[in-house]
Amino acid sequence: MKVWKIMWKGCKFILIFLLLVIGGVFLYVKLSPKLTINSANNISLYDSNDIIFFQGSEAKEWVSLDQISDSLIQATIYTEDKNFYHHFGFDFLRILKAMYINIRYHDMSQGASTITQQYAKNLFLDFDKTWRRKWEEAWYTLRIEANYSKDEILEGYLNTINYGHGKYGIENASKFYFGKSASELSLAEASLLTGIPKSPTNYSPLLHLDNAKKRQWLVLNNLVRSHIITQEEMDKAYEEELVFMVEDQKEMSSNISYYQDAVMNELKTISSIPNNYSEGNGLKIYTTFDAEYQKILEENVKNTFPDDSSLEVASVVMDPNSGGVYALIGGRDYNQSSYNRAIFSYRQVGSTMKPFLYYSALENGFTSSSAFISEPTSFPMENGQFYSPVNYNNKYGNKPISMATAIAYSENIYAVKTHMFLGYDSLIQTARRVGITEKLEEVPSLPLGTNEINILHMAAGYSAFANLGYKVKPHFIRKVVDGYGNVLYEAHDEKELVLNPSLVFILNQLLTSTYDSAFIDYNYPTAIGLAGKLKHKYALKSGTTQSDNWNIGFNKNVVCAVWVGNDDNQELTTKDYKYAQNIWFHTIEEIEKDVGEEDGWYEKPKNVVAMLVEPISGKPMDDPQKNTKVMYYLRGTEPRMEDPVFDEIPIQ
């Protein structure tokens, strides 16, 4: 009996202690500064002209609770948190039940987050699963509950959750899917929308209607079990044929969301933005975004592909002089796939790798006329085997050709010979200097683009050619200001001279050979179809693999990079290889339409000389009646008739 008395006293002590702790926490929370939830995570994005192009707490339209269908409100509560109005942010019985189920069935799928917890996560936190993040979530949950009514919390939650296809908030979702306000939603429509936030992609009725209907059934069944609706009402709602605003949603969709995602992705990497910035009055983010360029890019992507094509696309339009990204596309349709291929995917780059090789060659004594023999070649390897690349369509000149010709035809034999002549490390070091950080293998096929590189990184690497030798850092954000006017971050255009400007000028001239009819001989330049279409002068290089197609071109004003391919690496067909070039051509020409014909090109450096040559061989030519071409050389390196072919020089 004495033992029981001691245990009872101990339990009372623990209970009193817990009550004091809880009371102390509650008092501390009440005395803490009130969270400003309506403006937390509120962001305003400004374009390059300081004009707002996005504003809101991810949701563009905020509606009050009385402007939301009762069916939607009830469906949300009885699906997400049926005890919402009876707890203080945490449903401990639900937590214990979830733990029991997870342990018993060895399944961690059961969750117990309340609406307040989910709201705190949406407003203030990222989605990592660290213990620190969980403690922060709990702390924000308490602060929200202590300072706001349940109706205010529910209203904020419904205005900020993700309903898929880039639509945050119930009003946006309601108009997107059904073309009506949230107040007008029927039980059938409300129950379908309620099911989406659990997994916006998997339960999107536009992508996976079967999954969405199964989830809708669960939502409706919860309402029946809670005696909110009858079984008859459930059956009627479930069987109701829903009409989605398919055509309207296409128009409402804007691939500008890819750019917005890129901005937010960069924001997370800026260390000067404090972790608790979201407790203030939001952020003003000034970007490098150009609305006109984005519109041009989007329209050209939209007009290029057949509707039944499975191909995807990524494109970057960049200011080569600062690294600021003007426009970006991460896929054909953000509604169908929000995966941002422009900043997250890595693809084999094909022959777009070759300009880095040819700059290395120029730096190591090659000239525009330096010659190798174009012929089938097997290269001995250290392991005793042979590497035997082939030219596209197996076309060979079987004669010495100049570097200019090799670039025009995108000759693989010439590229591998150059690569092995210089040594594997030469190309890798040039790529590193211009900012390409991906792993590059020391193999003969490296200049043929067998390694995978991100398109944003490639655009930045080509920017070093476009700006005559300066490494730039690609970025989207110019400045970040908090709600009180404090500048939290300001980008500085970091430019480091890493390449010889005169050699870059020569390389850029060589890259115009890709669409120059003077190089028509045993083969055709790779972009000869653009010869009569381009109104401005550009350096241009394409790249092809079995599953990737690239076009990257530039002048001193802009770099435009385009990738086309399949996410599953399915092989491209012959007709698929035209899409990247078409997008590039139409986009860059429209961007430069008001620029004078030569205003985008470069002045010849004083130590560079122009010389009339026969383009295929690169030999001097003084007869203008024959096929000739003006090509460029560092002073003192002009070609002579007796210059040797590099095949005659043993490879070290």
Active site positions, annotated:
80, 351
Structure tokens at 332: 């054909």
State how far the alpha carbon of 249 is from the alpha carbons of 252, 303, 363, in Å.
5, 17, 53
Residue 491: the pLDDT is 92
Q: Is residue 117 part of a domain?
A: yes
How far apart are the C-alpha atoms of 496 and 464, rounded to whole Å?
9
Q: What is the pLDDT of the chain when averaged over all its residues?
A: 85
By the 10 Å C-beta count (0-12 exposed, 13-18 middle, 19+ buried), 612 is classed as middle
Report yes or no on 224 lying in a domain. Answer: yes
d(CA 628, CA 641): 15
Is 87 among the domain residues? yes
- The dihedrals phi and psi of 377, each to the nearest 5 degrees, come to -140, 135
In a domain, 230, yes or no: yes
Strands 43-46 and 52-56, bridge-based pairing = antiparallel
Range of the domain at 242: 62-252
Report DSSP letters for 470-481, one per residue: EE---BSEEEEE
How confident is residue 17, by pLDDT bands cut at 50, 70 and 90?
low
Cα separation, 647 vs 419, whole angstroms: 13
Residue 271, domain member (yes or no)? no
- Residue 304 included in any domain: no
Q: Residue 115's pLDDT is what?
A: 80
pLDDT tens profile 506-518: 999 999 999 999 9
Select from 602, 625, 622 the least CA-distant residue to 613: 622
Are β-strands 470-471 and 496-497 bridged in parallel, bridged antiparallel, or unpaired? antiparallel
Q: Is residue 235 part of a domain?
A: yes
CATH of residue 184's domain is 1.10.3810.10
Chain segment 305-333, per-residue pLDDT in tens: 998 899 999 999 999 999 999 999 999 98
pLDDT in tens, 519-547: 999 999 999 999 989 999 999 999 999 99
Sheet holding 325-329, edge to edge: 325-329, 312-318, 559-565, 548-554, 539-544
Are 434 and 499 in contact by the 8 Å Cβ rule? The answer is yes
Q: Is there a domain that residue 205 lies in? A: yes
Q: Looking at residue 276, what is its pLDDT?
A: 54
Vertex 47 angle, CA 41 and 50, to 5°: 95
Q: Look at the block and give the residue holding tokens 């040797």.
A: 644
| 377, 332 Cβ separation under 8 angstroms | no
Domain count, the chain: 1
The whole-model pTM stands at: 0.78
Q: Which of 109-113, 470-474, 606-610 has the lowest mean pLDDT?
A: 109-113
Q: Which residue has the tokens 């010495």?
A: 400
Q: Dihedrals φ, ψ of 570, to 5°?
A: -60, 145
Distance between CA atoms of 447 and 453, rounded to whole angstroms? 13
CA distances from 438 to 432, 452, 548 (A): 9, 8, 18
> Does an H or E element contain 551, and which?
strand 548-554
